[in-house]
Amino acid sequence: MNDPKVRLDDHGVPQGTVLETWLTPLQVCERVPAWTPDYLAQLRFRGTGPRFAKPSPRKVLYAISAIDEFLKASERTSTRQVS
């Protein structure tokens, strides 16, 4: 970032940047009790779950906003509604 107008904070992050909070699959399951780590793994494999990041080959992280968006998209007003 070479823009002289961008001010960085003490950690080198541009001021005003909103940093995302990331959760492990286990932490996601604590937030959404109906989910298990195995269920999340199935969703990742099928490509039907919330967005996720893989910062390393063995590490999976979910942004809280991605979990919230996924849950919001699955809201229903009747059990007759198709997913």
Alpha-helical runs (H) found in 1-83: 25-31, 37-46, 64-73
- Name the most confidently modeled range: 16-20, 34-38, 79-83: 34-38
What distance in Å separates the CA atoms of residue 12 and residue 10, rounded to the nearest whole number?
6
Does residue 31 register a pLDDT over 70?
Answer: yes
Q: What is the pTM of this model?
A: 0.73
